[in-house]
Chain A
Amino acid sequence: MQYEEIIHRCFRCGYCKFTSDYNDFNCPTYRKFRFETYSPGGRMCLIRAWLNNEIENSERFQEIIFSCATCANCVEHCVFTFGEDLVNIFMAAREDLVNKGIIPPPVRDYLKNINISGNPYKEPAGERGRWAQGTAVKPYEGQEYLFYVGDVGSYDERGKRIAGAVSNLLTKAQVSFGILGEKEICDGNEVKTLGEAGLFQFLAEENISVFKELGVKKIITLDPHALNAFRKFYPPLGGTYEVFHYSQVLLPLIQSHALPLREYRATVTYHDPCYLGRHNGEYEAPRKILHAVPGLEFVEMDQHGENAFCCGGGGGNFFTDILGGGDDAPNRIRIRQAHETGATVVAVACPQCAKMLEDGLKAEELEQSLEVLDLAEIVTKASA
Chain B
Amino acid sequence: MKDIERLLAEIVGQEYVSTAAEERYFYARDPGLMEPHAPDYVVIPKSTDEVQKVVRLANMEKIPVVPMGAGLSLTGLAIPLKGGIVVDMKRMSRILEVNEMGRYALVEGGTSQGALKAYLEKHHPRLRHSIPDAPPTATIAANVTIHGQGRLTQQYGFNSDLVSGMEVVTGVGEICRIGSCALSPDWFSKGAPFPDLSGLFLGWFGATGIITKLGVKLYPRKKLRDVEIFVTDRGDLVPEMVYEITHTEMAEDILAFTQPRPMMFKDNHHVSFYITGDTDEELEFKRKVIWHALDPYIKSKDGGFMGIPPMMKPVLLESPQRSASKLAYVKRGGGFEYSGPIVMLEKYPECTQKLEELAARYDLAYSGMVRVIDGGHAVMFAFAFAFNRADEDMMARTRKALKEVSAFVLKIGGLYWKPTVDEQRLAIQHMDQNTWKLMEMIKANLDPNRIMNPGNWEVY
Contacts and interface: CB of A to CB of B under 8 A. Distances in A.
Contacts of A46: 22, 25-26
Contacts of A6: 332
Interface residues on B, range: 35 or more
Nearest to B30: A12
A249 interface: no
Contact of A8 (B26, B70, B88, B334): B334
B326 A80 contact: yes
Nearest to B70: A14
B15 interface: yes
Contact of B325 (A15, A60, A64): A15
B70 A22 contact: no
A36 interface: yes
Contacts of B322: 15, 79
Interface string A216-259: 00000000000000000000000000000000000000000000
Contacts of B333: 8-9
B42 to A, nearest CB: 7
Contact of A13 (B20, B72, B117): B72
Contact of A11 (B21, B27, B334): B334
A21 B325 contact: no
Nearest to A42: B26
Nearest to A49: B25
A303 B91 CA distance: 19
Contact of B88 (A17, A36, A58, A80): A36
Given A8-B333, A36-B71, A80-B329, A60 B20 contact: yes
Interface string A200-229: 000000000000000000000000000000
Task: Name B's interface SS.
Answer: mixed
Contact of B332 (A9, A12, A17, A22): A9
A15 B135 contact: yes
A11 B335 contact: yes
Interface in A32-55: 33-37, 42, 45-46, 49, 54-55
B21 A37 contact: no
Contacts of B22: 37, 46, 55, 58, 60-61, 64
Given A18-B137, A55-B25, A35 B389 contact: no
A55 B21 contact: yes
B90 interface: yes
A13 B137 contact: yes
Nearest to A15: B135
A134 interface: no
B390 interface: yes
A13 B70 CA distance: 9
A79 B135 CA distance: 10
Interface string B294-338: 000000000000000000000000000010011011001111100
A211 to B, nearest CB: 41
B390 A8 contact: yes
A34 B70 contact: no
Interface in B427-442: none
Contacts of B137: 13-15, 17-18
B136 interface: yes
Contacts of A326: 15
A35 to B, nearest CB: 6
B118 interface: yes
Contact of B121 (A9, A21, A36, A60): A21
B259 interface: no
Contacts of A10: 334
Interface residues of A, number: 36
Interface string B38-59: 0000101000000000000000
Contacts of B136: 14-15, 18, 22
A61 B332 CA distance: 26
B115 A37 contact: no
A37 B26 contact: yes
Nearest to B18: A35
Nearest to A45: B26
A23 interface: yes
A339 B48 CA distance: 29
A326 B14 CA distance: 12
B31 interface: yes
Contacts of A36: 26-27, 71, 88
With a 10 A CB-CB cut-off, give which of B16, B122, B328 has the most chain A CB atoms. B328
A263 interface: no
Interface of B: 15-16, 18, 20-23, 25-27, 30-31, 42, 44, 70-72, 88, 90-91, 112-115, 117-119, 121-122, 135-137, 322, 325-326, 328-329, 332-336, 388-390
7 contacts: A8-B333, A21-B118, A22-B115, A34-B90, A35-B88, A46-B25, A54-B25
Interface of A: 6, 8-15, 17-19, 21-24, 33-37, 42, 45-46, 49, 54-56, 58, 60-61, 64, 79-81, 326
